[in-house]
Structure formats: structure tokens, C-alpha cells
Amino acid sequence: MPPKKGSGKKLGKAEKEKLKQEEEARKAAEEEEARIRAEQEEKERKERQKQEEAERKKLENEEKKNRYAEMTALMGLIEANSRILGNEHDRRWKSYKWARYMRCDGSPDPTIPGEINTYINLRLEMMTRNDIDSVLKDSVLDLALIDELDFLLEDAPSPGLNPQDVARYKSTKEDLQRLIQVKLDAATIKLLQEATDRCDPETLNLQYIVKNDNVCLCLWGNLSKNPRIKTFEFTEKGFSFEIPKILSLSDCAYRVLFTKYDHFSDRCKSYYPRLKKKDEPVMEEVKEEKVEEKKEEAEGEKKEGEGVEGVDGVEKETTEDLMAMLRAMDGGEPQEKEEEVKEEEKEEEVPEFQEPSTPEPPEWEDFDEDEDVIDLRANNVIGGVFDFNLMHLSPQPKAVNNWIITRLVDPPEIQYMDYVADTAVLIPNKEGHSPTQADKGKETETKRDEKPPIGVTMRLADGVMFTEEPQIARWDYQKNHWRTDGFSDLKFDEENRTFQFKTSHFGTMALLQDAHINMPFQSWEIRPHKTNSAVFTIIAAIVEIEIEIKDAMCCLSRPNDKPELESIRKKWVTPKELVKMCRLAGINVFPMVDSSKYVSIQNKHPTIEERAYQQMALTASAMAYSWSKWNGEVQDKEKILFQGTECLNDEPVPEEDWALYLMTKRRGMKLRMVEFDDTFNDELAEGTQFRSNLYHLLISTGSDEAKERIKETSYEFVDCVQQLLMATKILTYA
């Protein structure tokens, strides 16, 4: 019969203790096994991590080596081109200096004070050449001397002119500008004195116009005092003005003096960029006693530290010995081997390519003048300047019997008439109430009839494209700036190229246009024709321009439907001359250093942007580049994106041929994505790898013909393309 449940023999105390010890031993064995396994896994993990780190380090070192070699080669190529250009510039400068020294045409050297001062003084004293024909002829040389000084100030080789020469050249420029104006005034006086002899036989008034390539002088003298004359027009110039009744009955003359040059704007402080002044930190003076006390304290601490260091040194050595024994017991590697590995790793370190320091972004001062004052950083004077003057008519010779009597005016100076248009002043009526609307109308009409604003209609200057209604301004001689107050009833007829306004003042005037009206750009493209030849297209906010590039020269080829640009189209010049020419013609697609203050742009790293222009220029004989929307949508300062493709045929690039390129400070790569993808992805294109720069990326992936073209590209062409790219700043202004 089986034993009953629970009737088994109970375990004794010793057996329980034994089982407990066995359980504890089993658990300890399991824990030890788990510990050993964990240590083994940790050791394997560290080994894998070490191998991965070594592999990563190896790849990094390989990349550093390649980058160092490629960037050194690229910078060497750029610097070599720069040296050649510098040598060419120095050679041209020496040739100019020698040609100027050997010139024997009687013109003074504007850089030699003795020569230029003698020339100016003799011109001022020479009264026999104050006739208008002589003055216009002499002004050609005066303007040439001013242009020569501008050339010297802008194009002097590095390190440039010293401050004394710069100040002297600017002073000479001002003297020559003053000389031209003095002589034009003298010629005006002479013409006014001869008004009777030159009067028109039909109107019996002086109607005279004379001009050369830079100056046009128009004079109207009121000899007949006919009150029926309300307006007069210089038909040849397309300039008409009103003659109020008060002036039609007085001895007055109108002078309209057009000049293609502007000798006023550079006197205005807003003509130059205005950097914000940074607050300099104030250095506090430290008393010598405090310095000595600090030195004594430092010496005391040093002595105490030396004593402590001795004790710590013994403890450190003992600890290191114990650690070495423990590692030996655990089967670990001694520390010496680890140090050897570290030393080996250190030996594998590759020197980094030294990047140039990033300049701090400049901060520009706000324009803090009155709202009527023109900011010349935001507006450009185009079409030159014109003087619209009201003068007293000079005393005319009278025939008395057999005598001709003329009243002598000494010194002979222009006598300007004070004329400021009256504005209606509302006076309370007899009952003390404010005037009614009818009273206001009568008062205004009566007041304006006395000295009304002068209505002017003018044909816009030839050779200048106005893309919007111009702004009219007058020069304030006391404060040296352009002002817009005193003008009303502005009307712009773009089709007939005329502009109407009414002015309350006479004086020096100019038409201005928004300097940034064509910014930011909509798109751009540069495409090669062949080696050392390309076409650069910019679709700006209003106009589309096309610039042909060949070797060191370039020309504006489009727009070709604007007659006003005929004088500069297809004219081959240097990039600097093209920029100046286009700005004067009203086509400004060339941002200034502070244009970011007035235009919303893409904020990109200046070093990456400059390198992109350099490398685009180096490869422009074989590669086409174009605008990409992703450059603006990827709001990362360190990433510049654009489209590119190899282009060996002189044909427009099909859309499907464009690829997307990314440039950063350390890499240049071709992306898998294309322009029309919905989301941005910076994965590499299949079968490609990134390189340290765009130039080496294209060299490594381009065809043999493309490589040959890039190799044969001349330094003049590279420089010309680079100057145009940097002048337009297409990567940040599009």
C-alpha cells in the first residue's frame, strides 16, 4: 500500500542548509557565468567599436588626405592665375605711366601738382577763350583729365595709392570740375551779352542751343517782353517750359544746361556705404600694487602646489603599479600597449587644409535723413544732370546816334533771379470764419498767378532705359544732397519717353531710378559656346539681359529691342567697364556691398559663394550652370545649390539634361534628386562620389573632351567670367 501524501520524512536542518548552499552556489555560478559572458560581450563590443572607429578614422584620414591634396592643387591653380593677372596688371600700369610720361600733346599730367595747377590757373585767367565753342572744346580735355584721375583712383595696383595721393587726386578732380562750371558760366554770360545780335528774327527773343558729346547748352532770353508768350520749347532737345506772366514782362533768361556727367552725387555722404561703428571695449587700468600682490599670491600657491605635487606623485605611482598588477591578474593587456596604440593612432593624423577665417557679416547704418532727402545707396542718378536756371538778362548794347553804348558789369557774373513759387496762404474772412471753398479757390488762383510753379516737359535722355517712372530731385548746395520737395504733377509717358513735372524752384536737377528695381533676379544661366567663349543670361525682375563673353572681354547683346541701348550693345569692353556702362544706361543688375539692406536675398556663406564662382569660372568652357529653386528653399547657410551639366555643343540645354549640384565648405557633390522633385534629398547620384570641391568633381566625372577644354581655358577668360559672376552675385540675389 503506497504511503500517504505528506507522510514523507521531513528534511533536516542540515539538509536544508545544504540545499540552500547548493542553490546559492548555483546562483553564484550563474551570476559568474553571466558576468563572464557580459564581460566577453563588452570586450567584443569594444573590439568592434574599436575596429569601426579605426575604419572610420581611416576613411576620415583618407578623405583628409584627398581634400588636402585637391584643395592645395585648386588653390595653387587659382593663385597661379592670380599671379599672372597681377603681373599683367603691373605691366599695363607701367606702360600707362611710360605713355603718360612720353605724351607730347600739351596736356598736363594730373598727378603732378605743378603741371595741373598751372593748367587750371592759366585757364581761369584766360579770358580770350570764354566763347562757348572754345569752352566746349576745352571741356573735352578737362573731362579726360577727370576720367584719368578716376582711373588712377580705381585701378592702382596693390597695395594701392597712399592716403596723401588719394586726397590730392580727389582735390584735383574737384578743381577741374569747378573749372568746367566756371567756364560754362562765363560762356553763358558772353552769350547773354550778345543776346540782341543772336535774337530770332521771328520772335525777337534769344533762342540758342549748342552742344558736344557731353554738354548741351540751351538759352532763351526775353528781349521782346511779349505777354502772350506762355511757353517755349527747345525742339532739338525736346525740352519745354512755362513762362509765367510775371516773367514774360521782365528782363529774364532761362538756361537749361544738360551734362552727361554727374559731378554732384559723390559730394553727398549717402553716396558711400555706411558701416555701423562698433563700440570698442573700454580697458580698465590695473594698479601696479594689485599686480604685485597677485604675483606674490601666485608664487605662494606655486610653492604650495609643488609640495602637494610631491605627495600626489608618490600616490600616483603606487596606484599605477596596483592597476598594472590587477590587469596582469585579469589577463588584461598592460597600459604600455594601449599607449603604443594611441601613439600609432596619433601618427596617422593627417594635417587639415587651413580654411580662411570667415569675416563677420557687415552691419550697415540706417538712412536717418528727412524723407525728402534722397538716399543714393538706394537710388541712382541716370541720364546725367541738368541745370534749369532763371537769370537776369545782361544789359544789351544800345545805338545812340553813331554810338553803341553798353552798360559794363564788373565782375561779369551770372545774376540769378530769386523765384520760389508762392503757395496759397488761407486768411480768415472778415467775419473771422475760415474761408469757404470758393474763397480758397480764388485765393489759390490769385496767389499762383503771381508766382506759379513752372511746368516742364522733357524728353528723356538718349541712351538711358527707364523701367519705371523716374524720380525728380534738386541739388541742395548748402547741405550737399538731392531733395525731392518742391515738385508736383509728375507724369511719365513711357511710350513717348517724356516726363512732365512742375517745380517751385530753379536750380540743378536730376532724374533718379531705384537702384534695386531689377533685384532679386528670377533666374540665370551661363552656357559655353566653345573654349574661352560663353553666354551669360540673367532674367531680372523687369529686364532680361544677355552678356557675351570671349577671352578677357564681354559685351551686352540683349535686350535687342530697346533703341536707347543701341550705343552700348555689342560694344566689347572689360567687365568693370561693362558694369559702369550698364548702370549709367539704367540697367543695374550688379549689387553693391550693402544691397542686402534693400533686397531680400539668400543668406549663404561668403567663402562657399566665392569658391563657387571661382570653380564655375574655371570650368565654364565645358560646363553650363543654371539657377535652382532649391538654393532658396533649403534655408541652410552652409549649402549652395545650382544646376549644372556638361555642354559641348553650342545649343540650349534640354531640361532633362540638367543635374543638381550641392556645394558646402568641405564637399562638392552631384545629387540623386532633380530640380522638379517635391522634397529635398542630399543623397549622392548613383555611380558618383563626393569630392572636396566642384572643380575636382567635374574633372573626375567629365568626358575627355570636357577635360581638354577645361585644361585649355585661358586665365583671361576665367577672370572675366569670375568678375561677372561676382559682380552679379547670382547665388545670393536669385
pLDDT digits (tens, 9 = 90+) for 694-709: 999 999 999 999 999 9
> CA 50 to CA 656: how far, in whole Å?
46
- Name which of 658, 402, 625 is nearest 525 in CA terms: 625
Across 356-378, average pLDDT: 88
486 neighbors 373 (Cβ within 8 angstroms): no
**Mean pLDDT score of the chain:** 86
Q: In one letter, which amino acid is 621?
A: S
Secondary structure (DSSP) of 174-187: HHHHHHHHHHHHHH
* Residues forming beta bridges with residue 385, ordered by sequence position: 259, 510
DSSP symbol at 731: T
What is the pLDDT at residue 344? 47
Across 125-137, average pLDDT: 94
Q: What is the pLDDT of residues 165-201, one digit of tens each?
A: 999 999 999 999 999 999 999 999 999 999 898 888 9
What is the pLDDT at residue 314? 43
pTM of this structure: 0.82
Residue 442: band (very low, low, confident or very high) from pLDDT cuts 50, 70, 90: low
Residue 434: band (very low, low, confident or very high) from pLDDT cuts 50, 70, 90: very low
Share of the chain above pLDDT 90, in %: 64
Contacts of 648 (CB under 8 A, 6+ apart): 528, 622, 703, 705, 706, 709
Across 134-140, average pLDDT: 96
What is the pLDDT at residue 142? 96
What is the pLDDT at residue 594? 93
Q: Three-class SS string for 197-251?
A: HHECCCCCCEEEEEECCCEEEEEEECCCCCCCCCEEEECCCCEEEECCHHHHCCC
Residue 402: band (very low, low, confident or very high) from pLDDT cuts 50, 70, 90: confident
> CA 282 to CA 608: how far, in whole Å?
35
Residue 303: band (very low, low, confident or very high) from pLDDT cuts 50, 70, 90: very low
Residue 18: band (very low, low, confident or very high) from pLDDT cuts 50, 70, 90: confident
Judged against a pLDDT cut of 90, whether residue 425 lies above it is answered with: no
The residue ranking higher by pLDDT, 473 or 53, is 473
Secondary structure (DSSP) of 634-669: S--TT-EEEEEEE--SSSPPPGGG-EEEEE-SS-EE
Q: In one letter, which amino acid is 380?
A: N
Judged against a pLDDT cut of 50, whether residue 309 lies above it is answered with: no
Angle at 347 between CA 346 and CA 351, to 5 degrees: 85
The residue ranking higher by pLDDT, 686 or 253, is 253
> CA 456 to CA 503: how far, in whole Å?
8
The residue ranking higher by pLDDT, 430 or 502, is 502
What is the pLDDT at residue 431? 45
665 neighbors 607 (Cβ within 8 angstroms): yes
What is the pLDDT at residue 240? 97
Residue 324: band (very low, low, confident or very high) from pLDDT cuts 50, 70, 90: low
Q: In one letter, which amino acid is 608?
A: I
711 neighbors 618 (Cβ within 8 angstroms): no
3-state SS, residue 361: coil
Share of the chain above pLDDT 70, in %: 85
- Judged by average pLDDT, the poorest of 63-77, 202-216, 319-333, 529-543 is 319-333
Q: Is 55 exposed, middle or buried (0-12, 13-18, 19+ CB in 10 A)?
A: exposed
Q: Kindly report the number of other CB atoms within 10 A of residue 702's CB atom.
A: 18
Secondary structure (DSSP) of 134-160: HHHHHHHHHHHHHHHHHHHHHHPPTT-
- Name which of 678, 641, 646 is nearest 660 in CA terms: 641
Q: In one letter, which amino acid is 721?
A: V
Judged against a pLDDT cut of 70, whether residue 575 lies above it is answered with: yes
What is the pLDDT at residue 222? 94
What is the pLDDT at residue 326? 47
Judged against a pLDDT cut of 60, whether residue 720 lies above it is answered with: yes
Residue 123: band (very low, low, confident or very high) from pLDDT cuts 50, 70, 90: very high
Chain-centroid distance of CA 112 in Å reads: 33
Q: What is the pLDDT of residues 336-366, one digit of tens each?
A: 445 544 544 455 567 778 887 887 888 888 8
> CA 597 to CA 205: how far, in whole Å?
52
What is the pLDDT at residue 298? 52
3-state SS, residue 316: helix
Q: What are the distances in angstroms from CA 20 to CA 236, 268, 636, 640?
A: 124, 101, 67, 73
3-state SS, residue 12: coil
Across 677-693, average pLDDT: 90
Across 139-164, average pLDDT: 89
What is the pLDDT at residue 517? 95
Contacts of 133 (CB under 8 A, 6+ apart): 210
Residue 296: band (very low, low, confident or very high) from pLDDT cuts 50, 70, 90: low
Most trustworthy range by pLDDT among 96-110, 301-315, 419-433, 453-467:
453-467
> CA 61 to CA 27: how far, in whole Å?
49
Q: Is 27 exposed, middle or buried (0-12, 13-18, 19+ CB in 10 A)?
A: exposed
Q: Which helix (H) or strand (E) holds 527?
A: strand 523-530
What is the pLDDT at residue 8? 54
Q: What is the pLDDT of residues 499-514, one digit of tens each?
A: 999 999 999 999 999 9
SS3 content of the chain, % helix, strand, coil (to 5): 40, 20, 40
> CA 61 to CA 352: how far, in whole Å?
9
